[in-house]
Amino acid sequence: MKKFGYFDDARKEYVIQSPQTPYPWINYLGTQAFFSLISNTAGGYSFYKDARLRRITRYRYNNVPIDMGGRYFYIKEGETVWNPGWSPCKTKLDFYECRHGMGYTVITGKKNDLKAEVTFFVPQNYDGEVQQVVLTNEGSAAKTFKLFSFAEWCLWDAQDDCTNFQRNFSTGRVEVEGSTIYHKTEYRDRRDHFAFYTVNDTVDGYDTDRDSFIGLYNGFGDPQAVTDGKATDSFADGWSPIASHYKEITLQPGESKTLVFILGYVEMKVDEKFEADGVTINKVKAHAMIEQYNTPEKVAAGLAELRAAWDKLLGILNVNTPDDKVDRMVNIWNQYQCMVTFNLSRSASYFESGIGRGMGFRDSNQDILGFVHQIPDRARERLIDLASTQLEDGGCYHQYQPLTKKGNSDIGGDFSDDPLWMILSVSAYIKETGDWSILDAMVPYDNDESKAKPMLDHLTVSFYHIVNNLGPHGLPLAMRADWNDCINLSCFSDTPGESFQTYTNPKFKAEGGYSKIAESVMVAALFTYVGPNYVGILKHLGKDAEAAAAQAEIDKMKANVMESAFDGEWFLRAYDSNGEKMGSKECEEGKIFIEPQGFAVMSEIGKEQGADIKTLDSIDKYLNTKYGLVLNNPAFSRYYIQYGEISTYPGGYKENAGIFTHNNAWIICAEAYAGRGDKAFEYYSKIAPAFNEEISDLHKTEPYVYGQMIAGKDASRFGEGKNSWLTGTAAWNMVAISQYILGVQPDFDGLRVDPSIPHAWDGFTATRQFRGATYRITVKNPDHVCKGVKSMTVDGKAVDGCIIPDLGSGEHQVEVVLG
């Protein structure tokens, strides 16, 4: 078992010491509008707001070799050509290191006493990636060498860029001015944006045509111009435009040279696009952008500003527990990942091509749960964008494009769980901020302003969308899918290529597109878990009759679940469209599923009959493995046409008995809720990436962020991670560890502190900024229990219960004693 680097917690960095990680280990630059993905060998790409519609540089997914396309610096000294990040030349380096930090990455390479340290970051409020290259002669003789930069432009629409070659090979256009190369494809006609790549020094040449620079039959690892030791000054005219600077540099022993490159994006007003000649790009805005970071001093200030912004964000919640790995996840990496998932939903990662999916409705609502404390105003804006894509009957577009903010009609709606997440995320926002005014905000339906209603109305239609769509057992209809996109009970697909999420079998056409028999127990349990938030909101607003009516629906749902969906030792998963049980001990395969269980336990469904403990014990017995909880057991070994996509995956992968880390968190929460802190922590530590660092060669994906899935016990690659970064796992595990295990949980009335920790812990401390005040919380566990607040004091005064009242400002000492 092997690791490939180490955590540098003081600098909030993961330090990678070998370029050949088991998979490219990436970072994200930018948190606002300009984004870059960057791997530990400088692969990756940039885009503005939307990875599909506004792609700035090109990347080659699923390439051989892996991870091709990036921002590359080539150094040629004598006959040796190398890159600071090792790839794409793959020349053996004398030293290599990649430090992924909060919004920046530093890659350092050394070869023959020449050191190149490249810092990449997207400054705050800036639409560009800054790349600072520091070259140092560490030898004892003078060195003369050549430096080439490289970026390949994408022709904006990433989907079109990799398919429509008959057009695109003729449209590419650039302009060159001094040391700046401008990419202006389609700017002449319908686009009002361009990109540029610049360096803050004179150059000795450039290339803007890819085939001239690389050579038609060469690769990124042996560009012809670099081999020849000279740029060709090529000028792109169609084909594939690139930007490459060329410079000859001499350094005395001990001497350093710093160059600052900027890859920028500019939008122009239509009537200001051109200079007087009506052809040349108006570069006023670009010049101003270049001016902002054209010296090492300005770069240092920009980096300092970025670091300060992250220190501030990460200061909102900070813990000190007996376990360094917990601190590292909670204080640094889990929060960082929550920012990334909040920004990008499931759109652009090394497993999501940026052209497949926009912002998911359920995904983005859940992402808010882990992010809302960081920048509540941005969460509020997102909630409004999401709710604006909702339909008047409470149904929702399943996705929208971030650039247009319009619901995506290709995928449409009818995912049975979608509306419920909106209630949960709006509640989380109110609990965090105390800002009840969001309920009065006028929010359109279907992006139509004339159909705007207060946000509260959106919650009401969400709640009643479930109540109004029940099946024969009084359980919510399963529709096309629920949270599990791969349980498609109305699909019955027998033709390759049909999308399990959008195809519905014609036999359900008459019923409106999906079976009126198939029911989801998962949505039932989610309803009873989420519903009380809606009731709480109504009560706060003094709408007691409406609150009572909603509560009655929740109670009825609980009764229906106990009546028809408790299988004796756990909850069923669904009723299929034939009215047969799914996820029952009576089933041949897929006898037990993870998804409904945690929500049912936390809703206390059947608690009086001991359903909660029986269920949790069954999960331990049937789903627990050494690498986490599998989604279902036994795995499906053949295709069940009545279940859909789930049974198309080989056993142990993805939704078919993979360890889906997202819903592991629901069980962690439920174990903590039930007071079983030891179990909660066991499950938490099985999947938290920092705990898997030692087995990086098996785990494969980054040890600092969660992936969507770890292969389950039925897979030959048991323990192997996939689909890292963009997953609801980030938000839900943030919730699980901070709000359920450590128990620091915002509520409507204040901040609750009700931990459920391993009994061995003596306690922990936490700092939490909350609604304008800072709480310094000390939790003591003298009796070594898992859960139970014996006493709580705030600024020395005893408080009844375990909710810190909302003190509004100042710093307060909170002491909690368990026992």
- Closest of 569, 728, 737, 604 to residue 669, by C-alpha: 737
State the nearest-atom distance from the C-beta of 645 to ligand BGC, in Å: 6
Q: Which does 484 bind (CB under 5 to 8 A by kind): ligand NOJ, ligand BGC, none?
A: ligand NOJ
Q: HSE-up of 531 (CA within 13 Å, CB side)?
A: 30
CB 730 within 8 A of CB 334: yes
Residue closest to ligand BGC, measured at CB: 485
Residue closest to ligand NOJ, measured at CB: 485
Q: Which does 342 bind (CB under 5 to 8 A by kind): ligand NOJ, ligand BGC, none?
A: none
Looking at 100, 247, 346, 700, which residue binds ligand NOJ (CB under 6 A)? Answer: 346
CB 730 within 8 A of CB 370: yes
Residue type, 190: R
Q: Which does 483 bind (CB under 5 to 8 A by kind): ligand BGC, ligand NOJ, none?
A: ligand NOJ
Binding-site string for ligand NOJ from residue 434 to residue 463, where x marks contact by CB under 6 A and - marks none: ------------------------------
Closer to ligand BGC at the Cβ: 245 or 654? 654
Tell how strand 789-794 and strand 811-818 pair up. Answer: antiparallel
Closer to ligand NOJ at the Cβ: 117 or 714? 714
State the nearest-atom distance from the C-beta of 453 to ligand NOJ, in Å: 26
State the nearest-atom distance from the C-beta of 411 to ligand NOJ, in Å: 11
Q: Which does 501 bind (CB under 5 to 8 A by kind): ligand BGC, ligand NOJ, none?
A: ligand BGC
State the nearest-atom distance from the C-beta of 346 to ligand NOJ, in Å: 5
CB 636 within 8 A of CB 592: no
Copy the structure tokens of residue 186: 């389609």
d(CA 657, CA 630): 5
Q: Is 132 among the residues that bind ligand BGC (CB under 6 A)?
A: no
State the nearest-atom distance from the C-beta of 487 to ligand BGC, in Å: 11
Q: Is 53 among the residues that bind ligand BGC (CB under 6 A)?
A: no
Q: Is 486 among the residues that bind ligand NOJ (CB under 6 A)?
A: yes
The set of residues, in sequence order, having a beta carbon less than 8 Å from that of 80 and lying 6+ positions away, is 91, 111, 112
Secondary structure letter of residue 472 according to DSSP:
T
Give the range of 299-307, 355-363, 610-618, 746-754 binding ligand NOJ by CB under 6 A: 355-363
How many residues sit in the footprint of ligand BGC (CB under 6 A)?
Answer: 6
Copy the structure tokens of residue 632: 């279902």
Residues in the chain: 819
Closer to ligand NOJ at the Cβ: 183 or 346? 346
Q: Is 360 among the residues that bind ligand NOJ (CB under 6 A)?
A: yes
Looking at 100, 654, 686, 699, which residue binds ligand BGC (CB under 6 A)? Answer: 654
DSSP string, 177-191: ETTEEEE-TTTTTT-
Closer to ligand NOJ at the Cβ: 41 or 729? 729
Closer to ligand BGC at the Cβ: 200 or 663? 663
The set of residues, in sequence order, having a beta carbon less than 8 Å from that of 654 and lying 6+ positions away, is 486, 660, 709
CB 362 within 8 A of CB 483: yes
- 375 burial via Cβ count (<10 Å: 0-12, 13-18, 19+): middle
Binding-site string for ligand BGC from residue 497 to residue 516, where x marks contact by CB under 6 A and - marks none: ----x---------------
CB 500 within 8 A of CB 485: yes
Looking at 129, 157, 161, 485, which residue binds ligand NOJ (CB under 6 A)? Answer: 485
Q: Is 418 among the residues that bind ligand BGC (CB under 6 A)?
A: no
Closer to ligand NOJ at the Cβ: 191 or 722? 722
Q: Which does 465 bind (CB under 5 to 8 A by kind): ligand BGC, ligand NOJ, none?
A: none
CB 76 within 8 A of CB 35: no
Which of 50, 363, 485, 576 does the annotation list as catalytic? 485
Looking at 485, 576, 595, 702, which residue binds ligand BGC (CB under 6 A)? Answer: 485
Secondary structure letter of residue 489 according to DSSP:
T
- 543 burial via Cβ count (<10 Å: 0-12, 13-18, 19+): middle
User: Peptide bond before 322: cis, by omega within 30 degrees of 0?
Assistant: no
Closer to ligand BGC at the Cβ: 246 or 351? 351
Q: Is 671 among the residues that bind ligand NOJ (CB under 6 A)?
A: no
Looking at 67, 161, 209, 363, which residue binds ligand NOJ (CB under 6 A)? Answer: 363
Q: Which does 209 bind (CB under 5 to 8 A by kind): ligand BGC, ligand NOJ, none?
A: none
The set of residues, in sequence order, having a beta carbon less than 8 Å from that of 200 and lying 6+ positions away, is 179, 259, 260, 261, 290, 294, 295
Looking at 57, 168, 399, 484, which residue binds ligand NOJ (CB under 6 A)? Answer: 484
Q: Is 40 among the residues that bind ligand BGC (CB under 6 A)?
A: no
**233 flagged as catalytic:** no
Q: Is 486 among the residues that bind ligand BGC (CB under 6 A)?
A: yes
What is the strand order of the sheet 707-710 is part of?
659-660, 707-710, 721-724
Q: Which does 175 bind (CB under 5 to 8 A by kind): ligand NOJ, ligand BGC, none?
A: none
- 453 burial via Cβ count (<10 Å: 0-12, 13-18, 19+): middle
Closer to ligand NOJ at the Cβ: 21 or 484? 484
Q: How far is CA 601 from the centre of its chain?
A: 27
CB 5 within 8 A of CB 15: yes
Q: Which does 457 bind (CB under 5 to 8 A by kind): ligand BGC, ligand NOJ, none?
A: none
CB 532 within 8 A of CB 424: no
Q: Which does 362 bind (CB under 5 to 8 A by kind): ligand NOJ, ligand BGC, none?
A: ligand NOJ
Closer to ligand NOJ at the Cβ: 102 or 486? 486
CB 235 within 8 A of CB 177: no
Closer to ligand BGC at the Cβ: 373 or 654? 654
**Cα separations in angstroms, 326 against 11, 257, 319, 323, 361:** 17, 41, 9, 5, 30
Q: Is 483 among the residues that bind ligand NOJ (CB under 6 A)?
A: yes
State the nearest-atom distance from the C-beta of 756 to ligand BGC, in Å: 29
State the nearest-atom distance from the C-beta of 347 to ligand BGC, in Å: 11
Closer to ligand NOJ at the Cβ: 366 or 781? 366
Looking at 553, 655, 714, 815, which residue binds ligand BGC (CB under 6 A)? Answer: 655
Looking at 655, 671, 720, 754, which residue binds ligand NOJ (CB under 6 A)? Answer: 655
CB 394 within 8 A of CB 464: yes
- Cα dihedral 463→467→471→477 (10° resolution): -10
Closer to ligand NOJ at the Cβ: 241 or 728? 728
Q: Which does 629 bind (CB under 5 to 8 A by kind): ligand NOJ, ligand BGC, none?
A: none
State the nearest-atom distance from the C-beta of 552 to ligand NOJ, in Å: 29
State the nearest-atom distance from the C-beta of 761 to ligand NOJ, in Å: 32
The set of residues, in sequence order, having a beta carbon less than 8 Å from that of 699 and lying 6+ positions away, is 22, 689, 692, 710, 719, 720, 721
Copy the structure tokens of residue 61: 């997914």
State the nearest-atom distance from the C-beta of 387 to ligand NOJ, in Å: 18
Q: How far is CA 421 from the centre of its chain?
A: 17
- Cα dihedral 89→92→97→102 (10° resolution): 20
Closer to ligand BGC at the Cβ: 357 or 700? 357
Binding site for ligand NOJ (CB under 6 A): 346, 360, 362-363, 483-486, 655
Q: What residues are labeled active site? A: 485
Binding site residues, ligand BGC, CB under 6 A: 485-486, 501, 645, 654-655
